[in-house]
Amino acid sequence: MKMIKFYSSRNLRIVKGEGQYVWDDKGSKYLDLHAGHGVAFLGHNNKTVVEYLERQMSQIMTLTTAFDTPIREEMLRELDKVKTGDLDNVFLLNSGTEAVELALKTARKITGRKKVIAFKNSFHGRTFGSLAVTWNKKYREPFEPLPGPVEFLEFNNVEELKKIDESTGAVIVEPVQGEGGVIPATEEFMKELRRVTQEKGVLLIVDEVQAGFGRTGKVWAHQHFGITPDIMTAGKAIGGGFPVSATFMPDWIAEKLEEGDHGTTYGGNPMAAAAVTASVKVLLENNVPQQAWEKGQMFMRMLKESLSEFKSVREVRGLGLMIGVDLRLNPGKAIKVMQDNGVLSIKAGVTTIRFLAPFMINREDMEWTLNALRKGITETEGKISSS
C-alpha cells in the first residue's frame, strides 16, 4: 500500500516532537517553524493536552453530540473564557475546511442569498464550498464548476468594499492571509468591512483557522481591529495538536438552525473536547497571546535587521508569531537550505517563507533561524547569479 501524495516529500523522517523541536530518525534536532501548518502552536507533546487526552481515552473516546458527556460540558465552560463578542454558540468539526463549510451553509440559510464575496489571495480550504471561496486558480480550476456565485475583491482595498450589496449573503475574510503570503488586514479595511456588511444585511464570516487562538498576539486576530464577526471559524492551534475545528455564532443565528441542517460523525467527540479544554487552559495559564505578541515583535525586528543587506528580500511582515519573509525570488531553495541547517519552515503564496512558530520559541531559536535563513538566501542568490 502506498500513500497518495498531495504534498511534495520533504525527505525527512520525523520520529519525535517536544515543544518547538522535532527529531528525525537519525537523531538530528530541528526547530519546527512549520508546526504541521501551524497546528503545533502550543508545542509538540504539550503535557496538559496529553494528560487530558490520556485521561479521556481511558474513559470514552467515541460519542456523538446526541449524547451529553462531562468533558464537553467542561470544554464549553473553558471556551466561555475566550469567546469574542456575542458568539455564544459553537459546533465542533474536524478540520478548518469543514468549519468553513458550516459557516457558508449557515449564511445561505439565514440570508437566503447565494452570492458570497471573498478576497484575492484568500485560502479557506479544499472541499467544494471552501474551495469556491479560495482565490488560487491552481486549486480551483481542476474542480470547476464550484458552488457560487463567488466574487473576489482586492484585499485591504477599502474602495472595493463598495461592491458589496444586498444581493450578497456573506463575506468571508482572513484577518491575516496565511497561504496567500502572510498578509495582515489593515484596521481601516476591517472596520469598513464590518460597517458595510452590517449596513447591507450581509453576514461577515471571519476565518480564524490559521490566525486564531493566540498566534497573532490576541486570542482572536480580528480583535486587533475592534470588530466582532457574525460567524467565526477556528481550527489548527485550538486542539493543541489534536484534529479539531469549530464554528462560532451568536444566538440569533444559531436558533434558526434546525436538526439535520448539518452533521458530522466525529465532530465534537470526547477526545476533541478534551483537547480543546486543555488547549484553552494552556492558552490562559501561560498568557500565550501576550507571549506571542512580544516574541513576534522581537522576531520581526531581528529579521528586518539581519536581512536588510539582501536585495532579494522584499519585506518582512506579519502579526505576532505569524510571520512571512517575502522574497524577490522563488523561496524553495532557501527553505531546503534552512531544513539542511535544522530549521523547518513553509512556503506561502509564490515568494514568501512562512514561519508559524510555537509560542515557546526563544531568542536562541530566533538566532538559529536567522543564520539558517541567511544561508538559504545567500545560496539561492548565488544559484541565480551562476545560472
Q: Are strands 89-93 and 245-249 parallel, antiparallel or unpaired?
A: antiparallel
**Cα torsion angle, 39, 40, 44, 47, sign:** negative
Average of per-residue pLDDT across 322-346: 97
* 259 burial level (CB within 10 Å; 0-12, 13-18, 19+): exposed
- Residues 172, 108: Cα–Cα separation, whole Å: 13
- What's the CA gap between 116 and 124, in Å, rounded? 13
Contact 289, 237 (CB under 8 A): no
Nearest CA among 187, 186, 190 for reference residue 171: 190
| Count of C-beta atoms within a 10 Å radius of residue 381 | 18
The Cα 334–Cα 372 span in angstroms is: 9
pLDDT at res. 387: 52
Average pLDDT over the chain, rounded to an integer: 97
Beta-sheet pairing, 168-173 with 203-208: parallel
CB 42 within 8 A of CB 359: yes
Residues of the chain with pLDDT > 90: what percent? 98
Q: Which amino acid is at 114?
A: K
Per-residue model confidence as pLDDT tens digits over 102-157? 999 999 999 999 999 999 999 999 999 999 999 999 999 999 999 999 999 999 99
As a whole number of angstroms, the distance between CA 53 and CA 299 comes to 32
Please write down the HEC assignment for all residues of 227-268: CCCCEEEECHHHHCCCCCEEEEECHHHHCCCCCCCCCCCCCC
| Helices 47-57 and 270-285, axial angle in degrees (round to 10) | 150
Identify the three-state secondary structure at position 159. helix
Distance separating alpha carbons of residues 277 and 252, to the nearest angstrom: 25
Known binding residues for substrate are 126, 264
* Residue 383 predicted with pLDDT over 80: no
Question: Tell me, what's the pLDDT at 386?
Answer: 54
**C-alpha–C-alpha distance, residues 332 and 230, integer Å:** 38
Q: What is the pLDDT of residues 78-111, one digit of tens each?
A: 999 999 999 999 999 999 999 999 999 999 999 9
Please give the average per-residue pLDDT across 42-71, as a whole number: 98
Which bin fits 261, alpha (ψ -120 to 50), beta or left (φ > 0)? alpha
Please give the average per-residue pLDDT across 323-327, as a whole number: 98
Q: The C-alpha cell of 258 is what?
A: 434546525
Q: Note the pLDDT tens digit of each residue in 253-263.
A: 999 999 999 99
DSSP character at residue 185? P
Q: Give the residue-averaged pLDDT of 322-342.
A: 97
Task: Judge whether 381 and 343 are in contact, CB under 8 Å.
Answer: no
Contacts of range 145-148, beta carbons closer than 8 Å, 24 or more positions apart: 147/104, 148/114, 148/115, 148/116
Among 210-224, 267-281, 371-385, the minimum mean pLDDT is found in 371-385
Q: How far is 296 from 221, CA to CA, in rounded Å?
A: 14
Model pLDDT, residue 384: 61
Mean pLDDT of 354-375: 98
Of the candidates 285, 288, 271, 276, the one whose C-alpha atom is nearest the C-alpha of residue 220 is 288
Residue 382's pLDDT is 79
* C-alpha–C-alpha distance, residues 205 and 170, integer Å: 7
Average pLDDT rounded to a whole number, residues 235-256: 98
- Nearest-angstrom CA–CA distance, 194 and 235: 22
Query: Could you report the per-residue pLDDT of 151-202, keeping only the tens digit for each?
Result: 999 999 999 999 999 999 999 999 999 999 999 999 999 999 999 999 999 9
Binding residue numbers for pyridoxal 5'-phosphate: 96-97, 123, 207-210, 265
Rounded Cα distance, 256 and 129, in Å: 21
Which residue, among 209, 235, 236, 239, has the nearest Cα to 222 in the 3D structure? 209
Residue numbering of the annotated binding site = 96-97, 123, 126, 207-210, 264-265
Residue ranges of domains in the chain, CATH in brackets: 14-45+287-386 (3.90.1150.10), 47-285 (3.40.640.10)
3-state secondary structure 166-179: CCEEEEEECCEECC
| Amino acid 117: pLDDT | 98
Q: CA 387 to CA 376: how far, in whole Å?
A: 17
Q: What percent of the chain has pLDDT over 70?
A: 99
pTM of the model: 0.97
**pLDDT at residue 251 is higher than 80:** yes
